[in-house]
Amino acid sequence: MPSAAEVRARTGGHEVRRIVYPEAEIAGRVADMGREIAAAYPANEDLLILGTLKGSFIFVADLVRHIARPLHVDFIVAASYGTGTVSSGNVRLVYDPEAAIAGRHVLLVEDIIDSGKTIDRLVPLLRERGPRSLELCALLHKHVAPRLALEPRWVGFDAPEEFLVGYGLDHSENFRNLPFIASL
């Protein structure tokens, strides 16, 4: 666990309430998830990992290194937070993936599921494109969305109802570089 001085150095002097998931715990869970995902798909069938940017970029990078099978990676960008700490509920599609989706196994990778608005916007869009299968993987799940268009098959951690930063998660583009996940 990093010291308070190390945390302040990484956050530019900003205080965090607490470290919710330490670096080693995240690494272990991501490795386990990668092995589970690799075992779930036939090795001879096309798998597309579709990460949601920007928050999932570190998670996707670490996860795919633990999926011991051929795969492709692309990203999709949907925005709903802006500078706030609560989802605006208005999900905008900012970047559409260039990878073909039809006939492929697609694994949508999210950093965090909270309101569910992003998932509810992206899942119908992806289903319209005719994937062979569509599954969801999330590093964090707050379990506060009333109903999701697609329940995650893989979840790293059940997250507390706090605003979390680090390991790709941000507040106004800050804190993504933290190797742990903390509560502001």
Please provide residue 157's backbone torsions phi and psi, each rounded to the nearest 5 degrees.
Answer: -145, 145
Tokens of 131: 């994937």
> Which residues are designated catalytic?
114
Q: How far is CA 145 from the centre of its chain?
A: 16
Q: Quick count: other Cβ atoms within 10 Å of Cβ 50?
A: 25
Using CA of residue 14, residue 158, residue 60, residue 25, what is the dihedral sign?
Answer: positive
